[in-house]
Structure 1
Amino acid sequence: MVRATPPLPLHEIEVPVPNGLSPFAIGTFDEIGSFTRARFPHRHDFYEILFLTGGGGVHVVDFEPYEIEPNSVYVLAPGQVHFWKDSELITGRVLVFAEEFLLVHPGGLLPAPGGSPLLRLDDAQAAQVEEVLDDIDREYRSRDPGYATMLQAHLHILLVRIQRLRQAHPRVPASSSIVWRFTRLVTKHVLAERSVTAYAERVGVTAGHLTDLVRAALGTTPGAVIRAALALEAKRLLAQTELSVAQIAHALGFEDPSYFGRFFKREAGASPGDFRRDIREKYQLAHDL
């Protein structure tokens, strides 16, 4: 039975749509809007690429803290929860787009859900990224004939460039198109479907082959990816809602709250109650509810 989880704050794109295509925008943090520096946890219905050139504080993505530093690139997927803590003078560029705006299927070009959203660059690498962002920005503002197609082409180049830079960092694994599709499906449908076989059928391979691909790309198993996605949804609800543990267990499809408690402690290393208390205390989230 599918459960409907209570909605968390969702930011939708409120920008011009090029030539009637899917939403796309680029600009400074000030130009894109207040949500770009939001200090409260929220999630997006679009992809967001952040290129930071200055500022201080902490950027928290799915409850993992990242120190704000220049020459940092974040690639955030739809549904990820993030916010800024103790941040000041954040500068750089923000690029937002819907998946449908891409020229090709994003598998292989975007990091698999669950991977690190952060890529730190040296000055030469940052210059490579900034060069493409400059091209995108000029095309976006000029609105010359055919600019939507040009934006799609430049976005494709940017994603390839970021992917190459990610592959240059051994700690950032690359993912195949099939693995990306699998992990993306899990993030979208984990509340309704938790069968490895079912996901394998959706991406057109056997369960055994999917297991081999996920192990090679991510160093884990499809089942572990599914469990991690479910635990992440639980963390989001524990941190950002006043639902009881039993209500959250029910919302996530667990008939037995005690089983949910054991599952969560195994995945998160703490009981649901302890996690809620500790995460709210760490990030002062209770004041935002």
Structure 2
Amino acid sequence: MYLYKEEIVIPQYPFEPDAATGNPLFRINRNDCVVNYKRSDFLVPHRKDYYFMAFVKMGSSRHWIDMTPYDLKPDKFYFTTPHQVHLKEDAEPFTGIALSFHKEFLLTADNASLKELPIIQNPQNGHELSLTKGDLKFIEDILDKILAETETKETWQNTMLSAYMRIYWCI
């Protein structure tokens, strides 16, 4: 008797450079009461080859990360690392800011220390941070600064993004 074992291949989505700025390693988007998913994306497991972080100000959805469900809630911060298995179960319009960056963003000289931070190493395999009122104000301010910086076309943009990211991850 032969047992046939079929290997399940989970699609991996590559990092897409920011269409507005052309930055090949970093992108940030403000979402104002929108859902950016196609219905065909729901209930389809996939991986991302990049880091993803989202600050949810208002709204909700339900996602699974590595077989653990997360009900996205207002005033929370969510994050994932490359190659984890994602599944979108439900998504409602939300307001917040999402940022993504390629792992090569961490390899630049300006960012070498960032890869050592707990949120990047993720030793407890967490994906959700609850925020205090002080944290909320701090995060919104830094994210607004990062958004403004990505709109500049200056040669020091990546250096400024690195500096803001160091401050951002001090939450």
Same fold (TM over 0.5): yes
2:128 is the alignment partner of 1:118: yes
Counterpart check, 1:46 vs 2:46 = no
- What does residue 140 of structure 1 align with? 150
Instruction: Give the TM-score taking structure 2 as reference length.
Output: 0.76
Match of 2:159 among 131, 149, 153: 149
> Highest CA radius of gyration, 1 or 2?
1
- 1:77–1:113 Cα contact (<8 Å) kept: no
**Residue equivalent to 1:24:** 26
SS at match of 2:125: coil
Structure with more strand by fraction: 2
Q: Whole-Å Cα distance in 2 between the matches of residues 22 and 86 of structure 1? A: 29
Q: Which residue of 2 aligns with 1:96?
A: 100
SS of aligned partner of 1:85: strand
Q: Which amino acid aligns with 1:143?
A: K
Aligned to 2:3: none
Change (3 A) 1:92 1:156: same
| Cα drift, residue 122 of structure 1 | 2.5
Per the TM alignment, residue 113 of structure 1 is displaced from its structure 2 partner at its CA by 5.0
Return the alpha-carbon distance in structure 1 between the equivalents of residues 143 and 23 of structure 2: 20
Contact map agreement 2:18 2:24 (CA 8 A) in 1? no
Secondary structure of residue in 1 paired with 2:91: strand
Computed over aligned residues only, the root mean square deviation of the Cα atoms, in angstroms, reads 2.9
- Which structure is higher in RCO with an 8 Å CA cutoff and minimum separation 6? 2
| TM-score normalised over the length of structure 1 | 0.47
Cα deviations by residue, 1:71-127 (Å, 9 ceiling, x for unpaired): 111120001112332321122111101222131241234242552111011322111
Structure 1 residue runs of 5 or longer lacking an equivalent are: 163-289
- In structure 2, C-alpha distance between the alignment counterparts of 1:83 and 1:21, rounded to whole Å: 27
Q: In 2, distance between residues paired with 1:28 and 1:9?
A: 26
> After the TM superposition, which parts of structure 1 deviate over 3 Å for at least 4 consecutive aligned residues?
19-22
1:107 aligns with: 116
Tell whether the 8 Å contact from 1:46 to 1:77 is kept in structure 2 after alignment: yes
Q: 1:127-175: CA deviations, max 9, x gaps?
A: 111111111110001223311211122122212x23xxxxxxxxxxxxx
Number of residue pairs aligned between Structure 1 and Structure 2:
155
Q: Please state whether the residue corresponding to 2:59 is helix, strand or coil.
A: strand
For 2:57, the aligned partner's letter is T
Provide the rounded CA distance (Å) in 1 between the counterparts of 2:31 and 2:64. Answer: 17
In 2, Cα distance between the equivalents of 1:147 and 1:112?
A: 27
Sequence identity percentage:
30
Among 63, 82, 86, the alignment partner of 2:90 is 86
Checking the alignment, whether the CA contact within 8 Å between 2:17 and 2:24 is kept in structure 1 is: no
User: Unaligned regions of 5+ residues in structure 2, if any?
Assistant: 1-6
